[in-house]
Structure 1
Amino acid sequence: MALLRIDHLPKTVGVNLPLLIILPDQFKGRKTLRTCPVLFLLHGLSDDASAWQRYTNIEILARKHNLFVVMPSVGRSFYADMANGQAYFSYLTEELPEYLRRVFRLDLSRQNMLVAGLSMGGYGSFKLAFLRPEIFRAALSLSGAFLTKLITHPPQTENDKKVMGEFGMIFGGLDKLPGSQNDPDLWLRQAARNPGALPELFMTCGLEDSLLESNRRFYRQATRLGIPIDYNESPGGHEWFFWGEQLQNWLDYLLLKEE
């Protein structure tokens, strides 16, 4: 197994980005496509590509499941094609997969592709799953930051007002968010037309997490619209111990039954 750091310049983003990759032990062959589970692992608002490798046992899980793990960096972008910034959504769904195919000769067929993330990355994993369901077989949102409070309530605190300035860069303003591809409610309404096309969807959130109510709201709306999600609440807060444990449970559930 190997841990690689690649600094590359995607055309969709226009700035050098760090990309961390874990190569599995059984990653062999040059002339044929390499087939193994591929996990896109997405970071939270205040993190970067290194967070999962630093704070969890993802390297042990990669060895256990022969996983090819991709950990991109997207700043504080909410995995969006920003109104005034970089096109991170296009990078993750178009340019990065093509880069991985070309450089590592990976078989990125849907049955091999998983995506998971925490907080902002939980929002991101579901954004990728709902808007590009043909890419991923399964998606996990850990304590997803679904923007419910900021969409439905005006900013109250100084921190809320600061975040509003960032949202102007990302979304073009909070008033532009409802009904756009960055709006979780839109994902649900669109997916309700053909829920069978979606990947397997999994959500989990800690009972002491401040984002619990927005996660419950998203799950209730999905259920009302006939969108199946495997939903779980467990003791824990907005913290790495919880996310690492839940990621391990999810990977064991998905991959051990196939071995």
Structure 2
Amino acid sequence: MALLTLDYKSEVLSMSMTLKLLYPEKALYATEVEDIPVLYLLHGMSGDVDTWMRRTSIERYVKDTNLALVFLDTHDGWYSNTHSGYRYFDAFTQEVPELLANLFPKLSRKRSKTFVAGLSMGGYGALKLALLTNRFSYAASLSGALDFQDLEPLVDDFRGLTYWRGVFGDQIFAKNQPGDLVTWLDQADRKTKLFAWCGEQDFLFPANQRAQVLLEEAGFELTFTSSPGKHEWYYWDQQIQEVLKWLPIDYQEEERLS
């Protein structure tokens, strides 16, 4: 795999941004390789564009696939258009796909070959980006922060109320505020296939159980699993392998790691 770093000026965010692309090396040289499927990987709170590469063996897991990976950085902006004026949602659903298509024309622009996954805050982001657009056919959440009810008692430990209001506004913990999963469902496309996992000892496990019920009642095709585990990279490194098995990607069977 080739690891490419792209530093660019985001017109949407009005600031310099960095994304990283893990690109199949075969596609660098073989003219017949095209329409490469793409997985956007989203980090959690306090993470950045490098976190997935540093904390998991993701490069090894995809080395014998035809998949390209895109790593984004939301600066703890929850992949949202924040109340403080940073339009991360617009940047990642409009600007970044066009940027990648222009620079890397072999990357697929088809919804059927475009996927998104994330952990914790990134799990929230993965579902938000997928359900509020028609860009992603598969979306996966690992230990996703899918319900803010469980976060209110932890505000002081997670940056304080000023930070949360800067992202979501004054009604952050009000029921059915615009950042809630439940408020997206009326406009969400049921064609998107969903995957969610959460550890049973994770403080976000109750939120994931509530989200499971909500999504299934709303008619989404959801693969929901749980197992013993905490809010830790040890488990996310395991579960991203399950996400890759779930995605419709191709492997070079003769080279695939056992």
Letter of the 2:6 partner, please give it: I
Unaligned runs of at least 5 residues, structure 2:
253-258
Partner of 1:220: 213
2:71 paired with 1:78: no
Deviations 1:159-216 (A, max 9, x none): 168432112111222259755542211123443xx63xx3110100011111000000
Higher mean C-alpha displacement, 76-85 vs 117-126: 76-85
Q: 1:24 to 1:165 in 2, by over 3 A?
A: same
Distance 1:129 1:54 in 2: 25
Name the % identity.
34
Letter of the 2:49 partner, please give it: A
For 1:91-240, list aligned pairs within 5 A: 91-105=91-105, 106-132=107-133, 134-149=134-149, 155-156=152-153, 159=156, 162-174=159-171, 179=176, 181-191=178-188, 195=190, 198-240=191-233
Give 1:226 shift: 2.5
Instruction: Give the alignment's TM-score, normalised by structure 1.
Output: 0.88
Question: Residue 38 of structure 1 contacts residue 112 of structure 1 at CA under 8 Å; is this kept in 2?
Answer: yes
Question: Residue 25 of structure 1 contacts residue 63 of structure 1 at CA under 8 Å; is this kept in 2?
Answer: no
Other structure's SS at 2:198 match: strand
Distance 1:168 1:256 in 2: 39
Q: 1:235 to 1:158 in 2, by over 3 A?
A: closer
- Number of aligned residue pairs: give it: 251
Question: Residue 83 of structure 2 contacts residue 168 of structure 2 at CA under 8 Å; is this kept in 1?
Answer: yes
**CA RMSD of superposed structures (Å):** 2.5
Give 1:60 shift: 1.2
Distance 1:64 1:29 in 2: 16
Question: Residue 12 of structure 2 contacts residue 95 of structure 2 at CA under 8 Å; is this kept in 1?
Answer: yes
Q: 1:149 to 1:65 in 2, by over 3 A?
A: same
Deviations 1:109-141 (A, max 9, x none): 111101000000000000011101x21110100
Instruction: Give the alignment's TM-score, normalised by structure 2.
Output: 0.88
Distance 2:198 2:4 in 1: 30
Deviations 1:218-259 (A, max 9, x none): 111122232231100012111112111111112123246787
Question: Residue 143 of structure 1 contacts residue 209 of structure 1 at CA under 8 Å; is this kept in 2?
Answer: yes
Unaligned runs of at least 5 residues, structure 1:
none
Distance 1:177 1:11 in 2: 32
Distance 1:245 1:147 in 2: 23
For 1:236-247, list aligned pairs within 5 A: 236-247=229-240
Distance 2:12 2:45 in 1: 20
2:250 paired with 1:249: no
Question: Residue 44 of structure 2 contacts residue 121 of structure 2 at CA under 8 Å; is this kept in 1?
Answer: yes
